[in-house]
Amino acid sequence: MNTRYTEAKKIYADIGVDTEKALDTLKDVTISVHCWQGDDVTGFDSRESLSGGIQTTGNYPGKANTPEELMADIDKAFSLIPGKKKLNLHASYAIFEKGEAVGRDKIEPKHFKKWVDFAKERNMGIDFNPTFFSHPMVKDNLTLSSPDEEVRNYWVEHGKACLRISEYFANETGIPCVMNIWIPDGYKDIPADRLSPRARFKKSLDEILSIPYDKEKVYVTLESKVFGIGLESYTVGSAEFCLSYSDYKGITPLMDNGHYHPTEVVSDKISSLLLFNEKIALHVTRGVRWDSDHVVLFDDETKEIAKEIVAHDALDRVFIATDYFDASINRISAWVTGVRNVQKALLAAMLRPDALLKKLQDESRTTELMVLSEDLKTAPLGDIWEEFLARENVSKNYIADILEYEESVLKNRI
Ligand code: RNT
Ligand code: ZN
């Protein structure tokens, strides 16, 4: 065994932390990795430019343009990411036959068969997202909350179609599918009526969820958001709406940490949601000033989010997914760096002497709590992380590998 690991193991053991247990736990944590980092959220169905109040910026070469390219890039990224992965797809990644044109309201499981084959060959589950953006049927930035019944119905049918596809994923892979609903709907300026759009959203969700589906196989989650680009004043799917709706319908709330006011933190929200929900879901991202979807770093908030999951023994109750899209750097590297940082944050959380820290809090020994917490920041986490990578057969340094792939594959793309 690596001597640095042996030394580090001793240092952690001295403060009552079992590194073997941490390594064992981490290898079984599934991260649902978003497919949309590979092509800047373009998808394959309508090839419309990105809309819905979200934006990718940058034009780094090598974006995936076809299902084959995206699959190859996912393979490359996944070969450099340790641990268990799940593939997170959007409905816009449907793969049609040549010349086939299918509306989003009519998509079927067969349009995702290639993804199922891909996932099965790699022993992975698939999570899913209806795509309520980048499409001509989004009218005036509205979908499920539209006052236009034709528009609203179109998107209700899309939601139902996605539920059926989600169940198909679960049946085919044998792994439950998390289906996340997020709509961009909102207004740039102060609305005259805040209630009616939300009432229509509620009605639409009720209609989507009225079709029978197996709740053991499909977990429906609902993602809130405080604003979007061009939708600054009002979003229909606010935090209060989504939490209340999830509670009313018994579905799972999803928090994206780019979707709150800048001084609000998701790390502080997790415990409250855990007390009232069997399961919760997260989109781990990094907002810089706004919901900018930067690559996840090993920063304080990511660590704090991980701590809140691990310290409350909630790893099996939290669906952890990544959600960011950076088009200004190598996209494979964006994937690998961000997902590894989520895992590294989880490892850091697992290497904390939680019982002792909680005891210090309960006994109001806050001076000692601060000193020990600060000490932990320079504990030899890196050595345990490298041991994890070694056991998972992935190397610590991935940049050379990625640059080689950039030269030999990405740069040849148009
Ligand atoms: C948008 C939401 C949503 C999307 C993806 C592409 O602000 O975070 O989750 O990023 O569905
Ligand atoms: Zn999100």
| Given 259, 294, 307, 344, the catalytic residue | 259
Give the range among 1-10, 74-83, 292-301, 362-371 with minimum mean pLDDT: 1-10
Strand partners, 286: 294
pLDDT reported for residue 47: 75
pLDDT reported for residue 179: 99
Going by alpha carbons, the residue nearest to atom 5 of ligand 1 is 323
Cα atoms in the 13 Å half-sphere on the side-chain side of 354: 14
pLDDT at 414 over 90: no
pLDDT at 1 over 70: no
Distances (CA, A) of 182 to 50, 94, 117, 130, 259: 15, 18, 26, 8, 11
pLDDT at 147 over 70: yes
pLDDT reported for residue 345: 99
Answer yes or no: 323 catalytic.
Answer: yes
**Residue pair 407/76 in contact by the 8 Å Cβ criterion:** no
Average pLDDT, the chain: 97
pLDDT reported for residue 380: 98
256 lines ligand 1 (CB under 6 A): yes
Angle between helices 3-14 and 381-391 (to 10 degrees): 130
Q: Which atom of ligand 1 is nearest to the CA of 324?
A: 10
Measured from the alpha carbon of residue 179, the closest ligand is 1
For the segment 24-30, the average pLDDT, to the nearest whole number, is 98
d(CA 314, CA 321): 15
Each residue of 310-323: pLDDT tens digit?
999 999 999 999 99
pLDDT reported for residue 263: 94
pLDDT at 121 over 70: yes
405 lines ligand 1 (CB under 6 A): no
């040849």: which residue's tokens? 412
110's tokens: 């067969």
- The residues, ordered by sequence, that sit 6+ positions from 48 with a Cβ below 8 Å of its Cβ are 134, 135, 136
Each residue of 216-249: pLDDT tens digit?
999 999 999 999 999 999 999 999 999 999 999 9
pLDDT reported for residue 46: 82
Pick the residue with more confidence: 78 or 414? 78
- The residues, ordered by sequence, that sit 6+ positions from 364 with a Cβ below 8 Å of its Cβ are none
- The residues, ordered by sequence, that sit 6+ positions from 328 with a Cβ below 8 Å of its Cβ are 57, 58, 59, 60
Share of the chain above pLDDT 90, in %: 98
2's tokens: 């690596």
45 lines ligand 1 (CB under 6 A): no
pLDDT at 369 over 80: yes
pLDDT reported for residue 2: 87
Each residue of 43-87: pLDDT tens digit?
999 878 899 999 999 999 999 999 999 999 999 999 999 999 999
Q: Does pTM top 0.95 for this prediction?
A: yes
Going by alpha carbons, the residue nearest to atom 3 of ligand 1 is 182
pLDDT at 366 over 70: yes
- Amino acid found at 116: V
In angstroms, what is the span from residue 361 Cα to ligand 1's centroid? Answer: 37
For the segment 175-197, the average pLDDT, to the nearest whole number, is 98
128 lines ligand 1 (CB under 6 A): no
| Given 40, 293, 383, 387, the catalytic residue | 293
Q: Which atom of ligand 1 is nearest to the CA of 291?
A: 7
303 lines ligand 1 (CB under 6 A): no
Question: What is the bridge-based pairing of β-strands 280-284 and 318-322?
Answer: parallel
**Helix residue ranges, H only, 97-148:** 113-121
